[in-house]
Amino acid sequence: MSEIEKVKCLIIGSGPAGYTAAIYAARANMAPVMYQGMQPGGQLTTTNEVENFPGYPEGVTGPEMMVQLQAQAERFKTDVRTGWVSKVDFSGAIHKVWVDDTKEIHADTVIIATGASAKYLGLESEQHYLKIGGGVSACAVCDGFFYRGHETIIVGAGDSACEEAHYLSKLAKKVTMLVRKDEFRASKIMAERVKKTPNIDILFNTDTLEVLGDGQGVTGARVKNSVTGEEQVISATGFFVAIGHKPNTDIFKDWLELDETGYIINKPGSTKTNREGVFVCGDAADHVYRQAITAAGTGCMAALDAERYLAAKEG
């Protein structure tokens, strides 16, 4: 068996929340160790251009921004490692964490920054254009701006889909909303707002069969009415998916309080969880804002909370 490693501050996850926590923890002499997880850099690595993160007047690509955040964290000696945290035990004062089911770490403080993953339809064509940054997106607030004056499609019927459809309608020439049932799941007020918006066209009972494109970018979608069986092609250069998110918190469910969707519940106004010395930041605890800048903000808070916790413990 490999030796148990002891660390002061372990950060799980490497999106903007994790890296910001690392920068603050490293500068506070906490010698943070970060495990990057399955998707180093997090959700931003599937985003094209980030234009709304303050400090980048010309914008920056998601992957580029994550490389810079990593460099900044490493400049202050954060130990950034590849690896996936597969199990935790938060029962005692020392927090036990296993990496890749083998390596065991004992941490005084743990900062969880494992984020959330947007759900996608899972169509091959959708994944193709998502991977090449060719017009598939799960975030209208991030990417809607690139479709000014274009035709767009959005899939979903919850509050997020309605909110994002409304956001898109102010930028795009037309928004076609694809709802798989004959009704919205969204609150009445959100659904009404969408229904009243003239450039939002709602197609109920409609499933996406294929995202269409020219190999480089999206040109539309082939859809089918599940009641009549009728198929049609809708033209669009942007295909937005707003069918929910899944927080990456499964390994914590035996130890931390989660809400019904799996988001970690933090103590209001802080990043503290129900376990002393375990802190959460970013989308793992946030189903409302979900922005890089808000994740970074809570990453900073988590490092400060962890530092204060250690200072109080060490007397």
The H-assigned helical ranges of the chain are 16-27, 62-75, 124-131, 140-143, 159-169, 188-196, 292-314
Determine which residue in the list 30, 73, 121, 191 makes contact with ligand NDP, applying CB under 6 A.
121
Question: Smallest gap, in angstroms, from Cβ of residue 161 to ligand NDP?
Answer: 6
User: In the annotation, is 9 catalytic?
Assistant: no
Nearer to ligand NDP, 96 or 185 (CB): 185
Active-site pick, 108, 143, 283, 286: 143
8 binds ligand NDP (CB under 6 A): no
Say how far apart CA 4 and CA 293 lie, in whole Å: 35
Residues 178 and 176: their CA atoms lie apart, in Å, by 6
Give the Cα separation of 273 and 112 in Å (integer). 10
> What's the closest the beta carbon of residue 50 comes to ligand NDP, in angstroms?
21
The DSSP element (H or E) to which 41 belongs, if any, is none
- 281 catalytic? Reply is no
Q: How many amino acids of this chain bind ligand NDP (CB under 6 A)? A: 15
Q: Residue 28, interface with ligand NDP (CB under 6 A)?
A: no
Catalytic residue, candidates 9, 142, 162, 281: 142
**Does 193 sit near ligand NDP (CB under 6 A)?**
no
Q: How many CB atoms lie within 10 A of CB 294?
A: 17
Among 262, 267, 239, smallest CA distance to 136 is for 239
- For ligand NDP, the closer of residues 224 and 287 by Cβ is 287
Q: Residue 310 corresponds to which amino acid?
A: L
Query: What is the rounded distance in angstroms from the CA atom of residue 314 to the CA atom of residue 309?
Result: 9
Per DSSP, the three-state class of 286 is coil
Contacts of the segment 308-314: beta carbons below 8 A, 24+ positions apart? 309/109, 309/276, 309/277, 309/279, 310/8, 310/9, 310/30, 310/108, 310/109, 313/108, 313/277
Nearest distance from C-beta of residue 38 to ligand NDP, angstroms? 22
Closest by CA position to 18, among listed 115, 108, 100, 103: 115
Interaction of residue 116 with ligand NDP, rule CB under 6 A: no
201 sits near ligand NDP (criterion: CB under 6 A): no
Query: DSSP code of 177?
Result: E
Residue placing its CB nearer to ligand NDP in the complex, 69 or 157:
157
247 binds ligand NDP (CB under 6 A): no
Nearest approach, Cβ of 85 to ligand NDP (angstroms)? Answer: 25
Asked if 210 is part of the footprint of ligand NDP (rule: CB under 6 A), the reply reads no
Annotated catalytic residue, options 139, 281, 283, 305:
139
- For residue 47, the minimal CB distance to ligand NDP (Å) is 17
Contact 139, 307 (CB under 8 A): no
- Measured from the CB of residue 288, what is the shortest distance to ligand NDP in angstroms? 7
Residue 88 phi, psi dihedral angles, 5° rounding: -135, 160
Q: How far is the CB of 179 from ligand NDP (least distance, A)?
A: 7
| Binders of ligand NDP in range 124-183 (CB under 6 A) | 155-161, 163, 180-181
Query: Where in 276-295 is the site for ligand NDP (CB under 6 A)?
Result: 287
**Which residue's CB is nearer to ligand NDP, number 173 or number 181?**
181
Told to judge if 139 belongs to the known catalytic residues of this protein, a careful annotator would answer yes
Positions that interact with ligand NDP (CB under 6 A) = 121, 155-161, 163, 180-181, 185, 243-244, 287
Give catalytic residue positions.
139, 142-143
